[in-house]
Chain A
Amino acid sequence: MSNATKTPSALLSPELLAKLERMELVSRKIFRGRMKGERRSPRKGQSVEFADFRNYVPGDDLRFVDWNTFARLEKLFLKLFLEEEDLHFYALVDASDSMDFGEPTKLRWAKQLAAALGFIGLVRGDRVKIETVGQPARVGSPAFRGRRSLWRMLDHIEAIQPGEPTMLSQGIKNFCLRNAGKGIVVLVTDLMDKGGYEAGLKYLLSQDMDVYVVHVLSAEEIEPDLTGDLRLVDCEDGDEAEVTVSGPLMRRYKETLAAFVDAARDFCTRRGMMYLMARNSLSVEDVMTGYLRTRGLVR
């Protein structure tokens, strides 16, 4: 492990880290966690917050019997408390070839965003997993927990390389198979999949996850600096399109792009997913402190 990757500033600057320290991930749903954490859980457990009573059945832990009630009513009741558990946070990064475009590349930008969100999760004791869309179905990623796991998490993120061949919907399906639990999932992708993104997003919904879709586009996609007779080569599948870039075609392209973004936003909003379109020129800090805060992912 090199020194460069050990420096958090490669992905996250110290100033950003300082700001992120004060933030926490917010889930719109209450999920069942695996370990005790700082989050409320639907499970009853050992906390200081009273939840309910129930009749004693043999085998129950006598420590939770409410002896005061027994003294009054001569019946055994068990005192139930709200359980506080950890939150599962998943950052699902699209590492396809198309993400390797732009300055900085969309993938780099996605990794920065995943690192920032992961850091918040670690600080707050949540269970953080950073996965990529192209991961094989059976190969999971390590879960990170606690501030001490920061370096490991950053190393894991830095190790993500572009060139994963899987299609978006298949990748999300694999993700869902690996991670049956509930939690917050932030999908960072450019949605540029010729098979469509709808099926994949539907998998995430079926998991009943709190889904955030961060749609990242590069300046080359929003305002292509192309002119003349060109043969456009798709970096992922090598598909070629012959175009003569003219004023009308450029207008038509921009209209198509706007329609594409609108359709994605519409699709997500209708299904209770949070959609955020971001261009790679935006700083991750702005996205964290501005856009994601207004959309309620962090506070």
Chain B
Amino acid sequence: MNFLNTLSSWWQWAILAAIPPAIVLLYFLKLKRKPVEVPSTYLWRKSIEDLHVNTIWQRLRRNLLLFLQLLVLLVAILAVLRPSWKGEQLIGQRFIFLVDNSASMQATDVVPSRLEEAKRLAIELIDKMKAGDVGMVVSFCDAARVEQAFTFDRWRLRRAVEEIRPTRRSTSLAEALKVAAGLANPGRTSQDVTDYQVAEALPADVYIISDGKFGAVEGFSLGNLTPYFVAVGEVEARNVAVAAFDVARSETHPDLMQAFARLENYGPEPAAVSAALLLDGTEVGRAEDTIDPGGTTGVSFPLEAAKEGVLQLVVSEKDDFELDDVAHLILSPPRRSRVLLVTPGNEPLELALQTDSAMELAELEVAAPAFLGDEKYVKQAVAGTWDLVIYDRCRPKQMPRANTLMFGAVPPGGGWSAGEKVDLPQIIPVGAVHPLMQWIDLGDVLVVEATPLTPPPGADALIDSDAGALMAMAPREGYEDAVLGFVLIGDAPGGDGKSEQYVGTNWMTRQSFPVFVYNLFSYLGGAAGRSGVEPVLPGESFTLEHLAPGAKVTIESPGGSTTTGRAGEAGTFTFSDTDELGVYQVGVGGKPAGQFAVNLFHPRESDVPLRKNPRTELPSIRIGYVEVEGQRRWEPARREIWRELLLVGLLVLGVEWYIYNRRVAM
């Protein structure tokens, strides 16, 4: 501690030094008392004697005011001396504290956790603010949240920091910077030249307190913002993560299921891991392996009798980040798609749809076009009975609540239209990456005649030709319609007035056709992923489909909190509060209707060790073209307490005044 002499000349000191003796002197001078004549002092003397029984206390009490006055003076002298010690302070006037609360901030390489350390550092920074500085607190993960708007009140800033809660989400610094830039770099509110409602640009210092587990922020101009990076975390942090976890049919034994996972070691040392697979809490498999630093290993487990349940993969390696050590997967019972084929008669198609492997995926129902006029069809179509309806050379009056495939006809409405017939169009396959067309080679396919399609905007052309699209796919209210502009088997008027069938293409005889049927059932029939429900990432929304419109949906989180809502008109319900990791229970109409799992499959969040800039050996982040290096030391400054001392002096003065007013007996 050192002192700063604020009194410049000796006589000022002399005056100050003379005050305490003066107070003591004044104290010993007799108090001028008002004389009052009374009948007798007899009773008064007796009363005073009673009060004087505790003489020591009385004497103390008599001198209490003197002591307090001397104390006030002492404090004042101390304040004038301006005691101080070496500290740090933040240079600037406006500060924005961005505190990362993404999943990786829950790593425990810094005790108790990175987030707690970040909060501590943020509070330290707030304490370094000078009087009159304003600060703002923003927490950010994949979205930014203003915890406390700009304020002078450091207590509120500290409280806002303390109230930041961890999340399991990924990180996006860009979001947080946008919030910060909203103030520092205001843009024009519109292009209107008469609009002068543009806020004044206020420069601000942004303190990013994070572990830097986010990508470089591209295309962001800092403008008036001056960034500082306060790195939290250790370079030596260890972590083995479940990077992927899935279930699929075994390639060698199609009747068997197989769970496989990918484990990654992000730590600096080789890790001997043991992964246990649990089905509804019972261990059904275990794998052990050693993973090199930065390496990956795959583990697989055969699942013989497993049909449904919750699969849990637990990595028993003790590391600094626990959130990614467990992954969940929902095994739902295999269900065959329900497919309706409406055709006046199409033997090759029926044959292709009824092969053994096709029958494994779907349950086929065949009907004549007359069925479309039936009331039963209308009811079933509205109720969503089928997953896929295939219309061969016919079309319904109204599209069903199902995915559809149409041969030689276009859906009513929706912007579809078919052109004039063309002969032998030249096929150009364009949709090879689409799930419906994958692994399909159309090189040897000929189409005799076709009606090129004009699909609605937003549609994907899957087979193109020199005359126009021959196959296209367009979304419709949560469903998809695929339309082929040619027929497999066509009807042509014959010579005797009867219609004769003709072959419209040779596709049915090509190897790619059964693959197409498989894709059809897998994709449009919804048979894909039947073995396991697709996992959801934290913060992602999860959509439940094929619900009765208005049905009551209840979702219970792993933590036990319940969300209730109603399905929309399209029979879907979207749930976005997926911040917790684990298994969510879904109930529809009060009955259990399945589960889904939320897993932290995020390589950037799992990659917990702090990365350093190899050039400077300092942790750094990149914002636009600016490289911001980690910083822990701030501007040295005198930390003074003369304000606090004066406050104490005032307080003592108040106490003295109170005691004086109590008029304690002499």
- Which residues of A come within 8 Å of B, CB atoms? 97-99, 101, 106, 190, 192-194, 218, 220-221, 224, 226-236, 239-249, 252-253, 255-257, 260
Contacts and interface: CB of A to CB of B under 8 A. Distances in A.
B41 A234 contact: yes
Given A231-B33, A232-B38, A233-B37, A248 B46 contact: no
A130 to B, nearest CB: 23
Given A242-B666, A246-B664, A249-B51, A256 B35 contact: no
Contacts of B44: 232, 241, 243, 253
Contacts of B40: 98, 190, 192, 194, 221, 234-236
Nearest to B45: A241
A233 B39 contact: no
A247 B663 contact: yes
B48 interface: yes
A233 B47 contact: no
B665 A242 contact: no
B39 A228 contact: no
A97 B36 CA distance: 15
B643 interface: no
A244 B43 contact: no
A245 B33 CA distance: 11
Chain B interface, DSSP helix/strand/loop, else mixed: mixed
Nearest to B44: A241
Contact of B665 (A228, A231, A249): A249
Contacts of A244: 663-666
The 10 A-B pairs of least Cβ separation, nearest first, read: A246-B663, A192-B40, A98-B39, A231-B33, A234-B41, A253-B47, A241-B41, A101-B39, A249-B665, A252-B47
B662 interface: yes
9 contacts: A194-B40, A221-B43, A227-B663, A230-B33, A233-B36, A236-B40, A241-B48, A244-B666, A247-B663
Contact of A260 (B43, B48, B662, B665): B43
Interface in B464-513: none
B623 to A, nearest CB: 69
A94 to B, nearest CB: 11
B37 A235 contact: yes
A243 B666 contact: yes
Interface residues on B, range: 20 to 34
A33 to B, nearest CB: 38
B43 A253 contact: yes
A249 B48 contact: yes
B31 interface: yes
A232 B40 CA distance: 9
Given A241-B44, A246-B663, A256 B50 contact: yes
A36 to B, nearest CB: 44
A248 B39 contact: no
Contacts of A226: 36
A260 B33 CA distance: 27
A99 to B, nearest CB: 8
Nearest to B663: A246
B38 A233 contact: yes
B43 to A, nearest CB: 5
A248 to B, nearest CB: 6
A220 B38 contact: yes
B41 A232 contact: yes
Given A241-B41, A249-B51, A260-B43, A232 B665 contact: no
A132 B513 CA distance: 145
B42 interface: yes
Interface string B24-39: 0000000111111111
Interface string B624-664: 00000000000000000000000000000000000000111
B33 A242 contact: yes
B47 to A, nearest CB: 4
Nearest to A242: B33
Given A242-B33, A248-B665, A235 B48 contact: no
A248 B664 contact: yes
A226 B43 CA distance: 14
Contacts of B36: 226, 230-233
B478 to A, nearest CB: 83
B392 to A, nearest CB: 106
Contacts of B664: 244, 246, 248
Interface in B20-78: 31-48, 50-51
A280 to B, nearest CB: 11
A228 B35 CA distance: 11
Contacts of A194: 40, 42
A99 B39 CA distance: 7
Interface in B547-575: none
B379 to A, nearest CB: 92
Nearest to B62: A244
B51 A252 contact: yes
A211 to B, nearest CB: 22
A233 B50 CA distance: 20
Interface in B117-158: none
B41 A239 contact: yes
Contacts of B50: 252, 255-256
A236 B664 CA distance: 28
A248 B38 contact: no
Nearest to A259: B46
A233 B35 CA distance: 7
B41 A246 contact: no
